Amino acid sequence: MDNISNSTNLNIRLDSNLKKEAEDLFKRLGLNMSTAINVFLTQSVREQAIPFQIKEDKPNKKLLKALKEAEKIAHDPKIKGYHNMYELMEDLKK
């Protein structure tokens, strides 16, 4: 990495919650945000690639099971459904 006299600034926009979580993580790892981003960029240039796999999230088995169960419940005529919150609230008051 070059010395500080050869440095430049980088301005980025990101979600404030993400920034806070990242800062907390990097602090626990003994890094600040600038150093962590420099590590990422250095590794990217070294590997000529993003230094981790980027992939689409796929639901796990537990979530797939829950989705199937929800679909079954939604189409079960024995289970009463509601069209809005007011109908549900009326039944809850009974």
Q: What is the pLDDT of residue 5?
A: 75
Distance, CA of 68 to chain centre: 24
Token pair of 20, please?
Answer: 């806070």
Encode burial over 25-63: b for 16+ CB neighbours within 10 A, e otherwise: ebeeeebeeeebeeeeeeeeeeeeeeeeeeeeeeeeeee
C-alpha span between 80 and 21 (Å, rounded) = 42
How do the domains of the chain map onto residue ranges? 10-47, 61-93
Structure tokens at 9: 């600034």
Q: pLDDT tens, 22-36? A: 999 999 999 999 999
Q: How do residues 65-84 score in pLDDT, each as one tens digit? A: 999 999 998 889 898 888 89
pTM above 0.75, yes or no: no
